[in-house]
Amino acid sequence: MIVLTNVLVATDFGPTSAAALAYGRALARTFDASLHVLHVVENFFLRATPADPHATVAAKTRALHEQLTEDDRDVLRASATVKMSDDVADAITGYARLQTINVIVLGTHGRTGMQQLLVGSVAERVVRTAPCPVITIRETGDAVRRAHHTSEAAMITLKNILVATDFSEPSDAALSYGRELARTFGATIRVVHVVDDVLTRAYGGGDGFVFADPTLQEEVETAALDQVKGLIVGDQSIGAEPVILRSTTPAFAIVDYARAHDIDLIVMGTHGRGAVAHLLMGSVAERVVRTAPCPVLTVRHPEHEFVTPDALVAIQRA
């Protein structure tokens, strides 16, 4: 089972943060977890004309408390914290470590192209370095619209969950989370693996390789399908379905499938690459975070400071 005792919502008071807070509330209520709400003020002393830090922090603290309801305080044991830092993402992940947060919920503005390369994204950096799973909500995603037009009790409506797998350890951890969320919310899961488009790669890759056995694609997809089926043996009760997609760009294939099949949540592992590797290679998970039509739950490698659901069960039984 998933053990959630502390849910952290990181807010910048924007539209996506409002959706993230609604989502975090619903998640905390479902799992009877404590709700933490955090705002990070950028370090004033790095600015050319610093404002009074105490006055600004005090104002942000009041604004944060105003967003919390009596129900938040009484039922969800909500706390509001404002921190000052010259690195917003680092402050969020640092708070998560200190408070033993089980999941972080935050909005992302979904930058793309040169803007993303030069500026980066706080959400994507949190995804890459957080000690626990992270749920990201895009500015133009359905969750933002839902936050303004539905009650918070209906904020998390999980009917269809997509779990993306590349058969790695982070993907196995993601499947554990997807499986348990499906049981909790009565959802079905589709376990998706993207295989390379062999013929496109052979004839259009520009690497000089121009021959490919026409049967190779079918063999690759059949092998992948068998492997996905092996992952979901025994998951008939949650309607688990194996899905094989063909593409040279896995992130786009996952997002397109999610959009076409009314997916409510994408769950996937992330390898948490360092800065240089991230700059050169990017990340499938981060590209999905940037473009997904629904919230995305990213789960890092089990060795990267968080405990997987199965491990938590083992600890509880010991």
55-108 pLDDT, tens digit per residue, is: 888 899 999 999 999 999 999 999 999 998 989 999 999 999 999 999 999 998
pLDDT at 310: 44
Q: Indicate the domain borders of the chain.
A: 1-152, 158-318
Q: With pLDDT > 70 as the criterion, what percentage of the chain qualifies? A: 74
Output the six-digit token pair for 4: 């959630």
Do 72 and 105 touch, CB atoms closer than 8 A? no
Question: Comparing 17 with 190, which gets the higher pLDDT?
Answer: 190
pLDDT at 300: 81
Adjacency order of strands within the sheet including 265-270: 79-85, 34-42, 6-10, 103-108, 134-138, 296-300, 265-270, 160-164, 188-195, 241-246
Confidence check: pLDDT of 246 > 70: yes
pLDDT at 117: 37
SS3 assignment, position 186: coil
pLDDT at 306: 40
Please state the rounded mean pLDDT for residues 233-242: 91
State the pLDDT confidence band at 8, using cuts at 50, 70 and 90: very high
Question: Comparing 151 with 134, which gets the higher pLDDT?
Answer: 134
Least confident window among 37-46, 88-97, 163-172: 37-46
Question: Comparing 25 with 200, which gets the higher pLDDT?
Answer: 25
pLDDT at 142: 58
Q: Does CATH place domain 158-318 in 3.30.70.980?
A: no
User: Any idea which residue has 């909005």 for tokens?
Assistant: 107
State how far Cα 165 lies from the chain centre.
Answer: 14
Per-residue model confidence as pLDDT tens digits over 275-293 = 444 433 357 888 899 899 9
State how far Cα 17 lies from the chain centre.
Answer: 14
Q: With pLDDT > 90 as the criterion, what percentage of the chain qualifies? A: 53
pLDDT at 156: 73
317 Cβ partners below 8 Å, 6+ apart? Answer: none
48 Cβ partners below 8 Å, 6+ apart? Answer: none
pLDDT at 311: 40
State the pLDDT confidence band at 44, using cuts at 50, 70 and 90: low
pLDDT at 236: 86
Please state the rounded mean pLDDT for residues 146-158: 57
State the pLDDT confidence band at 119, using cuts at 50, 70 and 90: very low
Output the six-digit token pair for 208: 């000089």
Please state the rounded mean pLDDT for residues 43-58: 68
State the pLDDT confidence band at 301, using cuts at 50, 70 and 90: low
| Strongest mean pLDDT among 95-99, 147-151, 194-198, 302-306 | 95-99
pLDDT at 105: 96
CA gap 189, 256 in Å, rounded:
16
Confidence (pTM): 0.83
Strand ranges (DSSP E) for the chain?
A: 6-10, 34-42, 79-85, 103-108, 134-138, 160-164, 188-195, 241-246, 265-270, 296-300
Q: Which CATH class is domain 1-152?
A: alpha beta
Q: Residue 67: enclosing H or E segment and its boundaries?
A: helix 53-67
- Judge whether 1-152 and 158-318 match in fold: yes
Please state the rounded mean pLDDT for residues 234-245: 92
State the pLDDT confidence band at 205, using cuts at 50, 70 and 90: low
pLDDT at 271: 73
Q: What residues form DSSP beta bridges with 188? A: 160
| Burial of 236 per CB tally in 10 Å (0-12, 13-18, 19+) | exposed
101 Cβ partners below 8 Å, 6+ apart? Answer: 6, 7, 8, 36, 95, 131, 132
Q: What are phi and psi of 72, to 5 degrees?
A: -55, -45
The mean predicted confidence, pLDDT, of the chain is 81
Query: Cα dist. 39→56, 147, 240, 279, 298 in Å?
Result: 12, 19, 38, 27, 21
